[in-house]
Amino acid sequence: MRIAVFDSKRYDETSLNAANARYGHELVYFGDRLNRNTVPLAAGFDAVCPFVNDTLDASTLNALALLGVKHVALRCAGFNGVDLAAAKQLGITVTRVPAYSPEAVAEHLFALLLTLVRKTHRAYTRVRDGNFSLEGLEGFNLNGRTFGVIGAGKIGQAAMRIANGFGMRVLAFDRSPDTKHAGELGCTFVPLDELLREADVVSLHVPLFPETRHLINAGSLSTMKRGAVIINTSRGGLIDSAALVNALKSGQIGGVGLDVYEYEEGVFFEDLSGTALQDDTLARLMTFPNVVITSHQGYLTHEALTNIADTVFDNLDAFAKGLPLANAVSA
């Protein structure tokens, strides 16, 4: 098969080429994101392989169908950028990578959390400048604190295991709570409002759907424990960014760690160091000393990249052979 890989970086090429050695597909890499403007690049390809911020709306999918593209092999878990109803109508199969390395994302959330609560980002900058003062660097122990997990899927469960290792009390909310195995997970399933009231740390691990957009908003922020910390390594749209800024300004929220951002498309994954940042809300968030932002790198480990590439080619191979698609997504 000829496969057009969009929004690719060098690390994508390395992992995908290594996995493709077993299959021998023809891969062509494009740094451009796949959308209605770049879809002509897919001419002559059997399948496309987009990433999390590519936009496969109805018009893009229709153009892909006219070009003869039959398969969209997402190399991410999220599929909110794909119009699944349009894909189904056009006969385009969509697959994803539902789980690559839950531990990679869970470990990154704790990297963000520990950075915030121990203020290591500020300490590092001070020491680099020759300032060895400890004033203003007081943090707090994770041990004994309450860790709230919203979304108890594989990543959420990996986060719970780490939180248990720190000696934290773990609360979890999920639309379909696995209360039977709560003891094994080391958590207590509670309603969302109870979790928000009691948690010292709230970590988000749910997909982005219309019903979860702005799950964290002005109302939910006001119900949280004053000074609580929020970590989002899931989807940026789960948080109302403007409301978050206001909660930080008032001191209602004590710290925020973001690996995703509501309007990250066109910003994250890019080198914008030589230009002025056009997103005023993101620029405002970056001014807070108690906000740590990384550029959607929670998945970026060798193990995760390898797992992603392997699953992408398993999906492509199953599609090419007409086999059942374990990782298909549909409307």
Indicate which residue of 33, 75, 235, 262 is catalytic. Answer: 235
> What would the mean pLDDT of 265-284 be, rounded to a whole number?
92
pLDDT tops 90 at residue 77: no
Our answer to whether residue 296 is catalytic in this structure is: yes
134 shares a domain with 95? no
Confidence of residue 141 (pLDDT cuts 50, 70, 90): very high
> What would the mean pLDDT of 24-47 be, rounded to a whole number?
96
Rounded CA-CA distance 93/242 in Å is 37
Does 182 fall in a domain? yes
Place of tokens 């709570």: 177
Q: Hey, is 107 helix, strand or coil? A: helix
Domain that holds residue 41: 2-100+301-320
106 shares a domain with 93? no
Confidence of residue 116 (pLDDT cuts 50, 70, 90): very high
pLDDT at 99: 81
Does 328 fall in a domain? no
> What would the mean pLDDT of 37-54 be, rounded to a whole number?
96
Q: State how far the alpha carbon of 80 is from the alpha carbons of 29, 134, 213, in Å.
A: 23, 44, 11
Does 329 fall in a domain? no
267 shares a domain with 174? yes
Question: Number of structural domains, the chain?
Answer: 2
Indicate which residue of 108, 169, 262, 264 is catalytic. Answer: 264
162 shares a domain with 267? yes
| CA 73 to chain centroid | 18
User: What is the chain's mean pLDDT, rounded?
Assistant: 96
Nearest in space to 137 (alpha carbons), one of 124, 117, 119, 113? 119
Rounded CA-CA distance 31/167 in Å is 44
Interval 56-69: pLDDT, tens: 999 999 999 999 99
pLDDT tops 90 at residue 253: yes
Our answer to whether residue 103 is catalytic in this structure is: no
| Sequence-distant contacts of 307-311: CB under 8 A, at least 24 apart | 307/97, 307/100, 307/101, 308/15, 308/75, 308/76, 308/97, 308/100, 309/15, 309/16, 309/18, 309/19, 309/20, 309/75, 310/19, 311/97, 311/100
Interval 83-107: pLDDT, tens: 999 999 999 999 999 888 899 999 9
Residue partners of 193: CB distance under 8 A and separation at least 6: 223
Q: What is the pTM of this model?
A: 0.90
CATH number reported for the structural domain that contains residue 200 in this entry: 3.40.50.720
Confidence of residue 16 (pLDDT cuts 50, 70, 90): very high
pLDDT at 100: 83
Our answer to whether residue 128 is catalytic in this structure is: no
176 shares a domain with 307? no
Q: Hey, is 169 helix, strand or coil? A: strand
- Cβ contact 258:292 at 8 Å: yes
156 shares a domain with 265? yes
16 shares a domain with 29? yes
> What would the mean pLDDT of 209-225 be, rounded to a whole number?
97
